[in-house]
Amino acid sequence: MRAVVIKGKGENKKAPGILQKLFRIYNKVKRTWLATLLFVALPYGAMAQGDPLYLMEAGGTLGLVTYLGDFNANIFRGAQPMGGLVLRRVINPYMHLRLAAFAGKIKGSSQGNGTYYPAYAASPYHFNRRLVDVSVAYEYNFWPYGTGREYRGAKPLTPFIAIGLGGTFVKGKEKNVFTANIPIGVGGKYKVAPRVNLGIEWAMHFSLSDEL
C-alpha cells in the first residue's frame, strides 16, 4: 500500500470572512472523508493479502524404477518398486524448484534382449543392484497452479515439465558406482486442498556413466 501526502498552499488571510469559513469547512470535510476512506480500505487490503501462499512443500513418492540400456531394451521390463522424499520450493504459480531423493533396485540380463553377446553366450550375465538417486529439478507449470485465492486465475490442475541435475549411487557385488545424471520429466499436479497436492510424473534420468 502506498500513502500519498499532498501539501497545499496556506490560507489567504486577506480573503473575506465567509470564504475563510467555507474553506475551513471544506478542509474539515476533506480530512473526515480521507480518514473514513483509509479506515474502510485498510481492512479490505489486509483481507486480500491474508490468503496464504504456501512456499514450501514436503511429501513422499512411490512408483517404479527400471533400467534401460544394453541389458534391457524394454522400458517396462524388470520394473522395480521405489520410494522417496520430495521437497519443493514454490517460486510463483508457474515455477517450482524440487529436491527429490529415492531408493530402489535395477535389474538387467543379457538374455532376451534381441542382441547376441558372444562373451555371455555360454554363461548369461544378470545383475540386480540397489540404487539411491538425488536430484534438483526446475518445474514449469503450463497453467498457474494454486487454489485461485492466492493468485487470480490459478487452477488446481496443471501439466508440467521438469529438468535438472542429479547424482546416482549404485551398490553392486563387484563394485560401487557413483555418477551424475540429467533428469527430464513430464507430469501433472492436482491440488486436493490448499495444503494437499497429488502428482504423477514420468521421467528419464540420463546417466553419464555406462557402468551401472
How many C-beta atoms surround the C-beta of residue 65 within 10 A?
21
Alpha carbon distance 135, 84 (integer Å): 12
Question: Quick one: CA torsion of 68, 73, 76, 81, rounded to 10 degrees?
Answer: -40
CA-nearest of 34, 40, 36, 42 to 1 is: 42
134-190 pLDDT, tens per residue?
A: 999 999 999 999 887 767 788 999 999 999 999 999 987 778 999 999 999 999 999
| Strand stretches in the chain, DSSP E | 56-65, 80-92, 95-109, 126-141, 157-171, 176-193, 196-207
Top-confidence residue, 183 or 43: 183
- Check if the beta carbon of residue 82 is closer than 8 Å to that of residue 104: yes
More confident residue, 5 or 210: 210
The reply to whether the predicted model has a pTM over 0.85 is no
Per-residue pLDDT tens over the stretch 9-38: 334 444 456 556 555 554 544 343 333 333
pLDDT tens-place string over residues 45-60: 333 334 456 789 999 9
On whether the CB atoms of residues 90 and 57 are closer than 8 A, the answer is: yes
